[in-house]
Chains A and B, each alone.
Chain A
Amino acid sequence: MKPNPLARFLSPHQFLTLQRWERIGSLLLNILVYTLLVLYLLPMVFMAASALMENRQFSDPNAPIYPARQVTFEYEGKARLVYNVPLESGVRQLALVKPGRTSSQFIDPANPAAGLITWQGYWRQLKGDYQFHLSWESFSLLFRTLRLVNLVKNSLLMALITEVGVLVSSIVVAYGFARFPLPGGDFLFYVLIATILIPDKVTLIPSYFMYTQVLHWLGTWYPLLLPFFFGSAVYIFLLRQNFRSIPRDLDEAAMLDGAGPLRILVSVILPQSWPVVITVSLLHFFYIWNETRQAALYLGIRPDLAPVSFGIQNFQSVSPIQNSLQASALVIMIVPVLVLLLSQRFFMQNMIITGTER
């Protein structure tokens, strides 16, 4: 029987050892994941690129996809745009001097002394000669027209205040739901879920009436901040799910040692729940950072108290046409979030390791 020529490669002891298989597998996995990442983020790259484009580029179908500017050449005291002109001798980059419907006149930037070159055809069908160029103008315009520093300060302050309130209250309540028998059994838990599910719109008008007419909180931060000090239903749910997945044995051991319920929460439950606590605090930050509805309702009359999301959204709705100013505003919204996410990565990883060691 003839030996299979592939056998030498397929045999794990010959060419492809187990180690090599593992290495090839790792390589393929890395390639796969990074390709996915590029595809997944491609639209965001588009947005970042748009922020650095000049507005002209959005309407030119022949413009490149990266931020660029059409090359110009100064001739007879005026800046002339350079086009790719197909001549008999090949495509040449020529500056347009006299546009015309059937024939146009060009000048060669490399050799202006040679005089005008005439080309037969409609000049609008020519492709412009673009060169990579970053335009930061829209960012400086944004900083000048929006009071960006004040808006960001408002957002950060709101996030900080509610973060403390929502974390403490949600953790305590979730502990109650996860570990204690409650009157009515699961009934209160179902009420908790129901409050997550009740659409905003159902409660919108009555809440607005209560905050503005009864409590007179229009134009203040109270309607946006106070509810968080009573726990957030969805975070309570998330924390409860996590607390419940921690075995009770440790609680009981601590209880036998004489630990009270709060002591158990702090020394037994929380040390095992850092990943979820950090996840919740980050999610809450993003919530506050992007929130616009409540801000629109209660802070519409006080732009100096508004968060950055509301300020930028207001700014967006002024001009519906695609332009680099919109893209720049969106980039400004995303950059702090990206910075925060990147800076906590190390932090969160450490937490997980200590969490599993215990």
Chain B
Amino acid sequence: MLNIFRRKGRTKRQQIDRLLGLLLISPWLIGLVLFKLAPILASLAISFTNFYMLNPQETRFIGLSNYLQVFEDQSVGYILFQTLAMAMGALPLQMTASLALAALLSSPRLKGRGLLRTLFFLPSIIPSVAILFIWQGFVQPGTGWLEKLIIQPMGLEGFNNMYSQAATNLLFGLNSLWSIGPGFLIILAALQGLPPEIQEAARVDGAGPLERFFAITLPLISPAIFFGIVINLITVFGGVILLDRGNVFSGSASPYDGYVSQVMFRQYELGYASALAWVFFVIVMGIILLLFSTSRRWVYYPDKGGQA
């Protein structure tokens, strides 16, 4: 008798919690329906039509042909490969750099830490036109800083082509390293939020600095690292989250994103552009879901006893 009552009480409590949860997330749910769902459904519908911006009256349903065209399009495969290769190059570079930098900057032995944090974050918020400007000023044959500061004093042979592979790699590296700011800031905030007692306890137990970092600090900040990976991944795929560098529609760091823009704004093939964007979305979403499913093994949340 008592047991039944207890169970009933629990379910009622859960019922209230569910309702409360729904109420709390309702601002987002309303916004989702109003500002996201309608445009998303419309764009999904467009991807099944031959919508041509210069001749919208002729629009009609053409089924899956846009999607079939994506697989037949010879440039798609190459561009997709390029985009994924870029992500594979940028992501380890960015994560290693931001983690190392955050670890260095969390050391209490450093003078002027607050200022250092600010200055290391600064490049991540400069507009993308500035990066281009700086890169041009750096690699410009004859007058660039690279030539004046490094190549001429060392007697090396300078760039004679601004658009050479080496110069482009330099731009890619600069762009990758100059966008670690958000991830770096989030990891640093997590590091500084750690209770110092845990470190002290480990030190007393005889753990060295490296051991403490890998065995204690790293697992404790794993939620921040996970978030850093997700935002860097989305940014490298051409998305805009957290930081908008003011990219224009036509230009993008991600080759695939650039291709979609070209189809949309130069060829005005909205139907095909929508299909291209949706295919990419499915691929990116697959990668992210994979990441989330592995996160259960390595992201630490104290409320699940550290096992979840």
Chain A interface: which of B78-86, B88-96, B117-125, B210-218?
B117-125
Would you call A355 and B193 a contact (CB within 8 A)?
yes
A-B contact count (CB 8 A): 281
What is the CB-to-nearest-CB distance from B64 to chain A, in angstroms, rounded to a whole number?
Answer: 17
Partner among B27, B134, B281 whose Cβ is within 8 Å of the Cβ of A169? B27
Q: Taking the complex as formed, is B87 at the interface, i.e. its CB lies under 8 A from any CB of chain A?
A: no
Chain A interface: which of B1-9, B67-75, B182-190?
B182-190
Would you call A41 and B18 a contact (CB within 8 A)?
no
Would you call A290 and B32 a contact (CB within 8 A)?
no
Q: Taking the complex as formed, is A160 at the interface, i.e. its CB lies under 8 A from any CB of chain B?
A: no
CB proximity to B under 8 Å, residues A94-115: none
Q: Taking the complex as formed, is A29 at the interface, i.e. its CB lies under 8 A from any CB of chain B?
A: yes
Would you call B28 and A231 a contact (CB within 8 A)?
yes
Partner among B21, B107, B149, B278 whose Cβ is within 8 Å of the Cβ of A180? B21
Q: Taking the complex as formed, is B66 at the interface, i.e. its CB lies under 8 A from any CB of chain A?
A: no
Question: Which residues of B are found within 8 Å of A179, using beta-carbon distances?
Answer: 21
Would you call A59 and B302 a contact (CB within 8 A)?
no
Known: A275-B189, A355-B193. Contact between A230 and B301, CB under 8 A?
no
Q: Taking the complex as formed, is A32 at the interface, i.e. its CB lies under 8 A from any CB of chain B?
A: yes
Partner among A25, A50, A59 whose Cβ is within 8 Å of the Cβ of B109? A25
Please tell me the number of chain B residues within 8 Å of chain A, measured between CB atoms.
105
Question: Which residues of A are found within 8 Å of B134, using beta-carbon distances?
Answer: 43-44, 46-47
Known: A41-B119, A65-B145, A341-B121. Contact between A205 and B43, CB under 8 A?
yes
Closest B residue, CB atoms, query A226: B35
Closest B residue, CB atoms, query A41: B119
Q: Taking the complex as formed, is A87 at the interface, i.e. its CB lies under 8 A from any CB of chain B?
A: no
Would you call B109 and A202 a contact (CB within 8 A)?
no
Would you call A201 and B18 a contact (CB within 8 A)?
no
Q: Taking the complex as formed, is B231 at the interface, i.e. its CB lies under 8 A from any CB of chain A?
A: yes
A356 to B193, CA, bound (A): 6
Contact with A along B90-116 (1 / 0, CB 8 A): 000000000001001101011100111
What is the CB-to-nearest-CB distance from A203 to chain B, in angstroms, rounded to a whole number?
Answer: 4
Question: Which residues of A are found within 8 Å of B195, using beta-carbon distances?
Answer: 356
Q: Taking the complex as formed, is A142 at the interface, i.e. its CB lies under 8 A from any CB of chain B?
A: no
Question: Which residues of B are found within 8 Å of A202, using beta-carbon distances?
Answer: 40, 43, 274, 277-278, 281
Partner among A29, A37, A59, A175 whose Cβ is within 8 Å of the Cβ of B119? A37
Would you call A322 and B127 a contact (CB within 8 A)?
no
Q: Taking the complex as formed, is A121 at the interface, i.e. its CB lies under 8 A from any CB of chain B?
A: no
Would you call A338 and B260 a contact (CB within 8 A)?
no
A201 to B289, CA, bound (A): 21
Q: Taking the complex as formed, is B48 at the interface, i.e. its CB lies under 8 A from any CB of chain A?
A: no
Would you call A44 and B126 a contact (CB within 8 A)?
yes
Partner among B23, B115, B264, B288 whose Cβ is within 8 Å of the Cβ of A197? B288
Grouping DSSP codes into helix (H, G, I), strand (E, B) and loop, the B interface class, with mixed when no group exceeds half, is helix
Q: Taking the complex as formed, is B272 at the interface, i.e. its CB lies under 8 A from any CB of chain A?
A: no
Would you call B148 and A65 a contact (CB within 8 A)?
yes
Would you call A44 and B122 a contact (CB within 8 A)?
yes
Partner among B23, B32, B137, B278 whose Cβ is within 8 Å of the Cβ of A46? B137
Q: Taking the complex as formed, is B179 at the interface, i.e. its CB lies under 8 A from any CB of chain A?
A: no
Q: Taking the complex as formed, is A194 at the interface, i.e. its CB lies under 8 A from any CB of chain B?
A: yes
Question: Which residues of B are found within 8 Å of A47, using beta-carbon distances?
Answer: 130, 133-134, 137
Would you call B27 and A287 a contact (CB within 8 A)?
no
Question: Which residues of B are found within 8 Å of A58, using beta-carbon distances?
Answer: 143
Q: Taking the complex as formed, is B205 at the interface, i.e. its CB lies under 8 A from any CB of chain A?
A: no
Q: Taking the complex as formed, is B174 at the interface, i.e. its CB lies under 8 A from any CB of chain A?
A: yes
Contact with B along A264-298 (1 / 0, CB 8 A): 00000000000110010001001101111100100
Task: Determine which residue in B34, B125, B192, B278 has the highest number of CB atoms from chain A within 10 A of its CB, and name it.
Answer: B125
Contact with A along B2-25 (1 / 0, CB 8 A): 000000000000100110111111
Would you call A33 and B24 a contact (CB within 8 A)?
no
Would you call B243 and A290 a contact (CB within 8 A)?
yes
Would you call B27 and A199 a contact (CB within 8 A)?
no
Known: A172-B24, A201-B261, A322-B133. Contact between A59 and B143, CB under 8 A?
yes
Would you call B119 and A313 a contact (CB within 8 A)?
no
Q: Taking the complex as formed, is A17 at the interface, i.e. its CB lies under 8 A from any CB of chain B?
A: no
CB proximity to A under 8 Å, residues B112-166: 114-123, 125-127, 129-130, 133-138, 140, 142-143, 145, 148-149
Q: List 11 A-B contacts (CB under 8 A).
A: A33-B110, A46-B145, A50-B133, A169-B28, A173-B24, A196-B234, A245-B301, A276-B186, A313-B127, A337-B125, A346-B114
6 smallest CB-CB distances across A and B, nearest first, come from A230-B31, A180-B21, A176-B24, A206-B42, A206-B39, A345-B114
